Amino acid sequence: MKRSKKSEQLRQWVEQWKETGIWLEEVKRDELANMTDEEGWRAMESVLALAPYYRKLSRTSGLVKQQAWFHKRARK
């Protein structure tokens, strides 16, 4: 069965991103390995500073709803 031009382009795109993903993981690993303690603390503080913004999206973690769903599914 002959592949269409579009499916071949899609396959090439996926392959390219697989290779890019490997390269990006290496870059991330190298950057983390070479990060100073001060850089690490700054990075951590910037991530933690985002927490209030995400808290506004939901007043709960969803755990109560999840447990209710599990309970409902278990009774079936």
Amino acid at 56: K
pLDDT at 56 over 70: no
pTM: predicted TM-score of the whole model, two decimal places: 0.48
Rounded to whole angstroms, how far apart are CA atoms 52 and 46? Answer: 12
Mean pLDDT value across the chain? 88
Arithmetic mean of pLDDT, 61-73? 89
pLDDT tens per residue across span 14-30:
999 999 999 999 999 99
Rounded to whole angstroms, how far apart are CA atoms 29 and 76? Answer: 46
Amino acid at 42: R
